[in-house]
Amino acid sequence: MKSPNAFKWSIKYSLISALTGMLCCVAPAVLFMFGLMGGVVAISFADFFYKEDGSLGTGSIILRTVAIGLGIYAAYVFRKKQNQCSIDPKRKNLNLAMLIFLLITFGVSFFLALESWSSWYFDEFIVPQQQKELNI
């Protein structure tokens, strides 16, 4: 059996975790982009996850907790798959440490990139559309 690749594993699960953590903002932006959701609905969907003052709400905290849980699950499954292979225990520990480092680095990077992109997209396209829809 082939040992799992820590780099590919970390990219895949980091992206999944980041998308999960930013689901509150990425999902309405993508649905709006494809014309499946209007500006008012997109804003109200995103607002569901935040408090009125813009701080994190319960829904946003739950999504981010699930994202961290997915990262922990990825490390657990990687370790379990790696233990099926007969490789040096020191190498297994090094691979696991490298995976955890990459998961954190890529996960936070992807999360921040998605957060930046969704904020820009909301400000540039969705908010003006919401204002047009409310003025009609």
Q: What is the pLDDT of residues 48-92, one digit of tens each?
A: 898 888 788 999 999 999 999 999 999 999 999 888 776 788 888
> How many domains does the chain divide into?
1
Structure-token pair, residue 88: 């040096």
For residue 101, the model assigns a pLDDT of 97
Domain of residue 32 covers 6-135
Mean of pLDDT values over 110-118:
95
- 1 in any annotated domain: no
For residue 12, the model assigns a pLDDT of 95
Cβ neighbours for 66, distance < 8 A, ≥ 6 positions apart: 20, 21
For residue 22, the model assigns a pLDDT of 93
Mean of pLDDT values over 89-103:
92
Has this prediction a pTM greater than 0.85? yes
